Amino acid sequence: MKRFYAFVATLLALVLSVSALSARELNLIPEPSYVDLEAEGDYVVTEKTRITVVDDMWHPAQLFAEDMMEYFGSEKPLRTVKRGDKGIKVRTDIFVPKEGYEMTVTEDSILIIGGSEAGVYYGLQTLRQLIITNDGRVPCGFIADEPNFEYRGAHLDVARHFFSVEDVKRYIDILAAHKLNRLHWHLTDDQGWRIEIKAYPELTEKGSVRKETLIGHGLEPKWWDGKPYGGYYTQDEIREVVAYAADRYITIIPEIEMPGHSQAALHSLPWLGCEEQEVGVWTMWGVTPEVLCAGKQTTYDFLETVLGEVVELFPSELIHIGGDECPKDRWKECEHCQAMIKAQGLANEEELQGYLVARIEQFLISKGKRMIGWDEILDGGVTETATVMSWRGINGGIYAAERGNDVVMTPMNLCYFNFYQTKSREGEGLHIGGYIPFDMVYNWDPYQKMSDEAKAHIIGVQCNMWSEYLKDMETVEVMLLPRLAAMSEVQWATDRRNNDTIRRKMEVMRKFYEACGWHYAPYYFEGRD
């Protein structure tokens, strides 16, 4: 089916390239697989439009009805009913791709058929865009659509700066509107521990608060604001966010960093370190030498206890263990780590990290989960059941895919949305550095330099939002939008991107963002790069 839609879409693109552009363009983000607008007329959606629900598709229908209530400014959502021939009708069909949908629009009705409940939801997101950006008028015609990638992700770091439950829900809403289906939730780091663990209350009592925060980039002289900063999510709040995301067909993947990026945990429980010395929750950015001791059994007991609670909170099959940027200086001097290297017949400290990662992987497997980690987990060797997130470029992802691991491509130079969006940086405020404009994201080929065998293991693409300089959700949104639109085209419509139409589509998308009340960066629309 996907190949058929792609073939038809290619023919349609050729037709459009040699003819005058019609006024009846959909200008959708992400681009559907196939569009036929030969029929004349429109269906006009109003606050009195009814939604007929078949096959128990009540949930996506109700979410859409509530979104329309907000759009129309009405006191009640659109009415959902069991029977009706006119209005909007939603149902499923096994012959439609699982996350795909088909939409047929006449002057009397709109029919959306999904391959699953999620497919119906995505079809309704398309309809929502059309309604909002065309003043309620939906052109008659036919759309067939499905995503390219199984994993369509975005990341949110809440360790450097904390975001409330309502903020995270707002972030989820934005992802859902762009048809993403994964949220990678970075919950722990050197600068803060943000998830309640019942077995170790010290993690949030002590590790969730740092005494102050670095101002500027950390170059000499260094300045701090002198203000305590903290926050964490209770387990009930975690469940609330997980359920909210699941309602919008987004799976949350939690990340518990190990063995590096763990200074907040070391502050809370000093016995986790090699020297058991007192260290504070880190007030700097970057990489600290303070890491978990990989030579003590108590460290593994701790990690398994923490992850044991985490897997009960998150239904996700994948659990992220970090594994990145772990200095080995402490291990080289630690009698426990050196004893573990000798006892396990390991060659060096790199293999010691591999040993720790392998033990944690086996623990997660015992809990019915699979491990995902940054590409450093490859350094010590992992089984083919592990999923690799390639951030240090594309080579780690290619290597992992060629050896049979599933891979999520998220290279820093293309997918770190906390980087600047313009070369001039005028008006952007202070950020971590780097430069990733809209067009660079849009034109990225996640399959570059790969064999066909490797391509089969690229399960998805993810953008990342690290929060060193992102102090509130408004700033997060400005860094996310409009680049998320480019990313969603990479994730959903990889082979259907068109530089001749994207700017026109984005002008329409800007209307959608404004109607939803979301903040976005103006630079792309101003022609600045």
Catalytic machinery residues: 189, 261, 325
Angle made by CA atoms 23, 27, 32, in degrees to the nearest 5: 120
Structure tokens at 505: 């589509």
| CB-side neighbour CA atoms (13 Å) of 195 | 25
Distance between CA atoms of residues 163 and 473, nearest Å: 7
Of 425, 352, 374, give the one whose Cα is nearest residue 253.
374
Measured distance CA(472)–CA(288) in Å, rounded: 25
Q: What is the CA radius of gyration of the chain?
A: 24
- C-alpha neighbours within 13 Å on the C-beta side of residue 362: 6
Residue 456 sits at φ, ψ, to 5 deg, of -65, -20
Packing angle of the helix pair 165-177, 473-480 (nearest 10 deg): 20
Angle at 286 between CA 198 and CA 238, to 5 degrees: 25
C-alpha to C-alpha distances, 502 to 200, 488, 506, nearest whole angstrom = 50, 12, 6
Q: What is the rounded distance in angstroms from the CA atom of residue 46 to the CA atom of residue 448?
A: 45
135 touches 27 (CB < 8 A): no
DSSP state of 398: H
Dmax over CA atoms of the chain, in Å, equals 78
Separation between Cα atoms, residue 336 and residue 334, nearest integer Å: 5
**Closest by alpha carbon to 487, among 8, 154, 109, 199?**
154
Are the C-beta atoms of 272 and 261 separated by less than 8 Å? Answer: no
| DSSP assignment string, 418-439 | TSBSSSS-TTS---S--B--HH
Name the pairing type of β-strands 50-53 and 79-81.
parallel
Dihedral class, residue 84 (left if φ above 0, else alpha if ψ from -120 to 50, else beta): left
Would you state the structure tokens that stand for residue 150, as one six-digit string?
């199984």
Instruction: Please state, in angstroms and rounded to a whole number, the distance separating the CA atoms of residues 165 and 467.
Output: 16
Phi-psi region of 28 (alpha: psi -120 to 50; beta: other; left: phi over 0): beta
In this structure, are residues 356 and 294 in contact, taking their beta carbons and an 8 Å threshold? yes
Residues 401, 403: Cα–Cα separation, whole Å: 5
Amino acid at 52: T
**Rounded Cα gap, residues 56 and 515, in angstroms:** 30
208, 230 in Cβ contact below 8 A?
yes
